[in-house]
Amino acid sequence: MDCLRAAEILSAAHDGERMDAAELAEAHEHCAVCAECLALEATLVRLDAVPAPAAPDELVERLVVLSAQAAADIRESALAERVLADSGIALTTPSDEAGARRARLLPEWWAPRFTAFAAAAVVMVVALGVGAAGLIGTLGSQRTGDDLVVFETVEAPATDGTADDSAALSSPSAEADRAAAGQVAPPYVALDSVIWHLDGTAMAAPSAVTTAGVVASSLSAADTAATKSHTAFVSSDGATLWIEGDDGSYLQFSRVTRTLGLSPYVLTSDTPLVRFGVWPGLPARFQPPASDDGSPTFAYYGFDDLGRSVYVPVSGLPTDGFAIAPGTPANDPAAGNPNWTWWEPLR
């Protein structure tokens, strides 16, 4: 599928048109290998998060007052012209003739309605202007390098009631506060660098699974004496992992994922997760950033589907993976990790 056809399908689907499921799936697959179409797909998602335009209350009140005064002037002019007409005084001046026509076109009962309609019309025009300016600021883009499109926003969209201030949350002082508070990571395990999160326990061995490899973990937050090796089993769709515990029960895990442009990405790390409560960090091939903006290791790219800031290696593309800054909210897939995290396409 070419870029033009993919853009047509994605735009039509976003507008609510019924699309062929196979074509829509093919368009999403195209976005996974095309940076420009991926950026379009992400933009369509962000459009849904743009707030409705609203004019300031002070401006609305001012416009209502002005329109009410204009309506009062019209009523006064119409009344004066009727008095003159009843007195037999001719309306001979051009302005008086215009006033007479206005009096005939706008009878007295119309003035209150004119006030309301005029105010509503002016407020709508102003609101659309404010909304357009905000939308342009939100969806503005710039190009860095030859083929990397970077979306910039005046303010990061909020998905959980608070703005995502990654710079403040990832500052050294913030990380020190988190460490001092003793925040513990969720129950994670790593298998072939992919991070899995504990979902629950099953007493019986799962069926229709295959051996996935060996997980090195004590499978406990309290047992720090020694790392143990456990055989892991994966479901036929690759979405669920089971590990046999010391008591014979099976622990069930799911991959830690997030989406960018509706495409899934999985959390990866080569940090040894020898027990529950250990935070995964960046793969060893990346030097931890020295600054809150990701430099010199990463460069800002845009937002994922949750509104979190996305960073890519310098001259890189998100289709090869991206980084998320420390300190996301606890309900984010990164779960407030105090480290930078790395996410790769789910294959």
pLDDT digits (tens, 9 = 90+) for 122-131: 445 444 443 4
Q: Which is more confident, 83 or 263?
A: 263
Provide the pLDDT for residue 86: 67
Rounded to an integer, the average pLDDT of 234-253 is 88
**Plot region of 193 (φ>0 → left; ψ -120 to 50 → alpha; else → beta):** left
* Residue (of 200, 198, 202, 233) closest to 215 by Cα position: 233
Q: Rounded to an integer, what distance in angstroms lies between the CA atom of residue 108 and that of residue 11?
A: 49
Query: CA 142 to CA 197: how far, in whole Å?
Result: 37
- C-alpha–C-alpha distance, residues 180 and 264, integer Å: 33
More confident residue, 25 or 340: 340
3-class DSSP state for residue 141? strand
Q: Residue 102 — very low, low, confident or very high, per pLDDT cuts 50/70/90?
A: very low
pTM of the shown model: 0.51
> What's the confidence (pLDDT) of residue 224?
65
Check whether 38 has a pLDDT greater than 80.
yes
Q: Are 47 and 14 in contact (CB under 8 A)?
A: yes
3-state secondary structure of 8: helix
pLDDT at 248: 81
Q: What's the chain's length in residues?
A: 347
Model confidence at 178, pLDDT cuts 50, 70, 90, reads very low
Higher pLDDT, 40 or 202: 40
CB-based contacts of 246: which residues, under 8 Å, 6+ apart?
219, 228
Asked if 120 and 64 touch (Cβ cutoff 8 Å), the reply is no
Q: Could you tell me if 119 and 69 are in contact, meaning their C-beta atoms sit under 8 angstroms apart?
A: no
For residue range 11-32, list pLDDT tens digits in order. 888 888 888 888 888 888 888 8
pLDDT at position 113: 46
Q: What is the pLDDT of residue 286?
A: 95
3-state secondary structure at position 140: coil
Calculate the CA 120 to chain-centre distance.
32
Contact criterion met (CB below 8 Å) for 246 and 218: no
Per-domain residue ranges of the chain: 3-48, 57-135, 166-345
Q: Which residue has the tokens 């196979």?
A: 22
Whole-angstrom distance between the N-terminal and C-terminal Cα of the chain?
Answer: 20
Stretch among 12-16, 66-70, 150-154, 274-278 having the lowest mean pLDDT = 150-154
From CA 264, how far away is CA 35, in angstroms rounded? 15
Task: Categorise residue 242: left if φ over 0, alpha if ψ from -120 to 50, beta otherwise.
Answer: beta
pLDDT of residue 258: 97
CA atoms within 13 A on the CB side of 307: 21
